[in-house]
Structure 1
């Protein structure tokens, strides 16, 4: 653990490299199936967590109702972050830690392995938060996950938190899938088109995905709609058209 503390740095940009270094070691760890512990209700978690990180008198409502364990945790974190006026910082810190953990098999195994003593998990999180200078809200939240053996749900919680922060900011996510990255001018044009569709008051947040299997063209997932203009889909449509019998009476 001392070695881990020596390698940690005081800023987020270095976190990815630090976790990649594999300085965290698990005790008697094996990659095994992890059975989730008892569920935590939204009211229980909100009460315990909010009391440790934010004033009780401030009332905050979540912009989107989320369900499930990860949704409950994300909602409680959102409320506490808003109360502390630290939503952007908490979001960026949690997402940074999630991305950094993906580059470290050792750390990824560490947060999943329930054979690691609770004290060891808590100590590791305390040192990471201290050296990365995480906000108190982020630190308290991660410590609760460590204590409850739920660090393995960190990524799913971060995704649900992102849903809440986007709704809070009035952002609408649009995913565009292409064979190669869109040129900047085409990306800008697509974003402006989608912005015209949703109108004022909300902002389009465009995410690009690369998928060679669509062969060409593009697919846009926007809200509950999917605009499929890929060559793969067009080819399938043409194939079905050619299979249908031709009615010469209509020619």
Structure 2
């Protein structure tokens, strides 16, 4: 069974665990911890996670870009651990599949964001999901630590930050193109080639299309820090401002 299929089939475990009378009422011993390292605060997480598994560091890894905030710290630590273990692509794929599968499970989303669910219940659910989905040790350790620190609700944001790092690692630059209807293949290719010429050699453009009928027509391209707005809506607003501007008769 493919990874995504295994992951989707494991999500019902959350429902079973949440409905377990023994767990919901438990005040006794916690389930066995999946990790043998301590819980880190957000400020400590970034510098400690990469060596938390107890393995000796064999090489130093530099981040391809600097991220800030709690989500940035978690994503950076996960990146460092993944690169050192030579499983960056695998961890990226697992996180993306996890996010996609969780979007199809309202129960999992509620479980991740509901802070009233006890830590023991969260850990039990995450460990069971990781086991059934056969996640790599790095991904499993990350999810468990995030769960212990109450950061499971931020998994979407952390994953987005992590993807920023993996893309920078591969020299990829995302260009978001918003149109009313999907671009025809030929126009998509021409736009991608144009953007590639702008950034030059050494980097690769990754085109992401979005549909937004409110722009009326044309397109909007978000590329790095630049925004090229060539939508009909924006042109109409510009024309409206021009028509409403006072006329200087003396210059006629």
What TM bracket, shorter-length normalisation? 0.7 to 0.9
Task: Name the CA distance, whole Å, in 1 between partners of 2:40 and 2:220.
Answer: 38
Secondary structure of 2:209's aligned partner: strand
Alignment-derived partner of residue 18 in structure 2: 26
Could you list the per-position Cα deviations for residues 108-149 of structure 1 after superposition, in whole angstroms to 9, with x for gaps in the alignment? 111222332322222221221122121111011111112222
Alignment-derived partner of residue 32 in structure 1: none
Matched, 1:160 2:152: no
RMSD over aligned CA atoms reads 2.3
Task: Name the CA distance, whole Å, in 1 between partners of 2:181 and 2:203.
Answer: 28
Alignment-derived partner of residue 234 in structure 1: 235
Deviation for aligned residue 1:22? 6.8
Deviation for aligned residue 1:248? 5.5
How many residue pairs match? The answer is 234
Contact 1:19 1:103 in 2 (8 A): no
Secondary structure of 1:79's aligned partner: helix
Deviation for aligned residue 1:242? 1.2
Secondary structure of 1:176's aligned partner: strand
Task: Name the CA distance, whole Å, in 2 between partners of 1:236 and 1:139.
Answer: 50
- TM-score, normalization: structure 1? 0.85
- TM-score, normalization: structure 2? 0.84
Structure 2 unaligned residues grouped into runs of 5+: 25-38
Contact 2:64 2:165 in 1 (8 A): yes
Could you list the per-position Cα deviations for residues 181-219 of structure 1 after superposition, in whole angstroms to 9, with x for gaps in the alignment? 111111111101100110100000110010000000000
Contact 1:53 1:80 in 2 (8 A): no
Task: Name the CA distance, whole Å, in 2 between partners of 1:204 and 1:173.
Answer: 6
Q: Which runs of 4+ in 1 moved over 4 A?
A: 247-251
Rate the CA distance shift 1:53–1:85 in 2: closer, same or farther, 3 A.
Answer: farther
Matched, 1:76 2:77: yes
Deviation for aligned residue 1:98? 1.3
